């Protein structure tokens, strides 16, 4: 069979997007890994799948698979690409799009300037909800690594995140420490690891080692989690520019009990078909 797809990116975080509303395909881990291969397949950080909603109040269901074939709960950069995709494909004419995800419903808003704002929902800070093995909620936690004790913040944006404050992201041990913390026993569902350099109360630099992927050019949920952690640690204001290797996002958070809003671009790269 021929599978139609679109290659997209959000600040360099790249995706293969597949419409399973108007076509059908049975996905499995082996197939996803082969499609993700950048030498023999399409190549992507995540595969995004558009499906009909389970509930009539929603417009679509949004499923996300990492390059290793595992399904994950949320992807902020992918959510912006999802909105652009369903509009471009005329699957909807709405500028406010309600979408089901594995971690709950989210709202996507297409702005007049073409940027897309995603209401990412209320972050989860209780350790049991992240999930993270800690006796109680704190602004910072200490975990043991091969190089000694490490201090970090933790939050869930529908997927688990650890955030480390660093003096500079230029020489941060993203690939070594990121890989170690990703599978740290204190994070039973593994974790995305952010390395945050605070420039001011309104701006940070960030690199993210994504669970099941490795370092990516950008991570939307990682940017949201970094701002949440920075805010609860008293380092950041309610609106923050997050500079990632692939570009910048605007993140807004008014504090506990409020949703995180993320605004940024989404770009189509090319259309294609692949024979399966």
Tens digit of each residue's pLDDT (9 = 90 or more) over 225-239: 999 999 999 999 999
23/264 Cα distance (integer angstroms): 29
191/131 Cα distance (integer angstroms): 9
210/57 Cα distance (integer angstroms): 31
The answer to whether the annotation marks 139 as part of a ligand binding site is no
The answer to whether the annotation marks 159 as part of a ligand binding site is yes
The answer to whether the annotation marks 192 as part of a ligand binding site is yes
The answer to whether the annotation marks 77 as part of a ligand binding site is yes
169/165 Cα distance (integer angstroms): 9
The answer to whether the annotation marks 46 as part of a ligand binding site is yes
**Radius of gyration of the chain measured on its C-alpha atoms:** 18
Model pLDDT for residues 12-42, shown as the tens digit of each residue: 999 999 999 999 999 999 999 999 999 999 9
What pLDDT does 124 receive? 97
User: Can you list the positions of beta strands (E) in the chain?
Assistant: 2-10, 13-19, 46-51, 60-66, 71-72, 96-101, 104-110, 116-119, 141-145, 148-156, 160-165, 192-200, 203-210, 214-216, 239-244, 247-253, 260-264, 267-275
109/119 Cα distance (integer angstroms): 8
What pLDDT does 103 receive? 86
How sure is the predictor about 240, in pLDDT bands with cuts at 50, 70 and 90? very high
The answer to whether the annotation marks 133 as part of a ligand binding site is no
The answer to whether the annotation marks 170 as part of a ligand binding site is no
Percentage, residues of the chain above pLDDT 90: 97
Model pLDDT for residues 41-53, shown as the tens digit of each residue: 999 999 999 999 9
Among 122, 210, 118, which Cα is nearest to 162's?
210
158/251 Cα distance (integer angstroms): 16
What pLDDT does 253 receive? 98
Q: Do the bridges between strand 203-210 and strand 192-200 make them parallel or antiparallel, or are there none, so unpaired?
A: antiparallel
Residue-level length of the chain: 276
- Of 103-107, 172-176, 254-258, which gets the smallest average pLDDT? 103-107
Domains of the chain with bracketed CATH: 2-117+265-275 (3.10.310.10), 127-258 (3.10.310.10)
Q: Which residues belong to the active site? A: 75, 219
What pLDDT does 51 receive? 97
What pLDDT does 153 receive? 98
The mean pLDDT value for 106-113 works out to 94
What pLDDT does 175 receive? 96
**Residue 156 in tokens:** 């869930």
pTM value surpassing 0.85: yes
The answer to whether the annotation marks 136 as part of a ligand binding site is no
């Amino acid at each position: 069979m021929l599978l139609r797809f679109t290659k997209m990116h959000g600040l360099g975080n790249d995706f293969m997007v597949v419409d399973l509303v108007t076509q059908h395909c049975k996905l499995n881990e082996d197939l996803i890994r082969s499609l993700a291969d950048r030498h023999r397949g399409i190549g992507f950080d995540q595969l995004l799948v558009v499906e009909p909603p389970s509930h009539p109040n929603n417009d679509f269901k949004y499923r996300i698979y990492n390059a290793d074939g595992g399904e994950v709960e949320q992807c902020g950069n992918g959510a912006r690409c999802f909105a652009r995709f369903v509009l471009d494909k005329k699957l909807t004419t709405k500028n406010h799009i309600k979408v089901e995800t594995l971690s709950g419903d989210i709202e996507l808003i297409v702005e007049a300037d073409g940027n897309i704002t995603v209401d990412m929902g209320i972050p989860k800070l209780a350790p049991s909800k992240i999930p993270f093995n800690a006796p109680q909620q704190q602004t910072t936690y200490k975990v043991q690594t091969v190089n000694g004790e490490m201090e970090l913040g933790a939050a869930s944006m529908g997927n688990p995140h650890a955030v480390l404050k660093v003096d500079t992201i230029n020489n941060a041990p993203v690939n070594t420490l990121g890989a170690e913390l990703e599978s740290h026993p204190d994070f039973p569902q593994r974790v995305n690891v952010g390395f945050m350099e605070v420039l001011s109360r309104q701006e940070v630099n960030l690199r993210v080692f994504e669970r099941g992927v490795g370092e990516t050019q950008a991570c939307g949920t990682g940017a949201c989690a970094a701002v949440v952690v920075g805010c609860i640690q008293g380092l950041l204001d309610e609106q923050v520019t997050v500079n990632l290797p692939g570009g910048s996002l605007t993140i807004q958070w008014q504090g506990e009990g409020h949703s995180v809003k993320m605004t940024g671009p989404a770009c189509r790269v090319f259309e294609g078909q692949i024979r399966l």
